Amino acid sequence: MSPARRAQYLQAIGIDRWIPRIALGEAASPAPEPSAPAGESCARPGPDALTQTAPEARWQALRAEILQCKKCPLHEGRTQGVVGVGNREADWMVIGEAPGAEEDRRGEPFVGRAGQLLDAMLRSIGLSRDSNVYIANILKSRPPGNRDPRPEEVAACLPYLMRQIELVRPKLLLAVGRIAAQNLLGTDAPLARLRGRVHHFGERNTPLVVTYHPAYLLRSPADKRVAWEDLKFARSVMAGRPTDGERS
């Protein structure tokens, strides 16, 4: 990324001073499978091909379940379930709270102004939802009036998120906002106490870092610089270099 382009992204998240970033190694995307030559379309797939189709089948089954889900009353007022977006083999997984009105209409998490800010935040550390990040929410259906999720709603939706994490197998989870952080970590601690340290999630002990939700930053732009520090910290964790003095 050129210095000028990086400066634009930093300006978008409210950071005026350019700070050199430590480049993170990004796993190369696997080369696309070559298409079968003419006349071979009916050939019996080998073991490798069967292995490659299994994750896609699991994704399709999960998507169908989410779109048809009626485990809580939220399905009654939604336009559609919001599954997730991004690279399904990403090293980074961003987890938010719940779909808003625009997300419910478009069927994609983090769109509108909050989504634009999240994209700028990610790009400021060399990431993109189109290439090396997968984005999902705790809830898959929009709560009316964008209210906080209720415990029974989280209980109904959380298994879907757990399956997404299992399929993506990220190397780092970035929880954006209090609701996402508290539900992933099983705590009622305030966001201020959860930021600035490495948590660990699930059986794979995946590192988890907490920061502010983009919607909050739109209301409180003074905290954008603090969120920038969170992003740099997450980047250092991903590179195996957590900041000195941070708890783990």
Q: What is the pLDDT of residues 117-134, one digit of tens each?
A: 999 999 999 999 989 999
Distance, CA of 8 to CA of 13 (rounded, Å):
9
Nearest CA to 90 among 31, 169, 11, 202? 169
Answer yes or no: is 32 within a domain: no
Answer yes or no: is 3 within a domain: no
Answer yes or no: is 9 within a domain: no
Answer yes or no: is 191 within a domain: yes
Please count the helices (runs of H) and the strands (runs of E) in the chain: 9, 6
Q: And the tokens for 233?
A: 């910290």
Structure confidence at residue 87 (pLDDT): 97
DSSP letters along 96-163, please?
ES---HHHHHHT-SS-HHHHHHHHHHHHTTT--TTTTEEEEES-SSPPGGGPPPPHHHHHHHHHHHHH
Q: Of 7-11, 48-52, 80-84, which gets the smallest average pLDDT?
A: 48-52
**Which residue has better confidence, 143 or 14?**
143
Number of domains observed in the structure of the chain: 1
Answer yes or no: is 89 within a domain: yes
Answer yes or no: is 95 within a domain: yes
Answer yes or no: is 213 within a domain: yes
CATH of the domain at 178: 3.40.470.10
Confidence class for position 208, pLDDT limits 50, 70, 90: very high
Structure confidence at residue 77 (pLDDT): 94
Residue span of the structural domain in which 130 resides: 54-238
Residue type present at position 79: T
Answer yes or no: is 26 within a domain: no
Structure confidence at residue 40 (pLDDT): 39
Q: Kindly state the average pLDDT of the residues 78-83.
A: 96
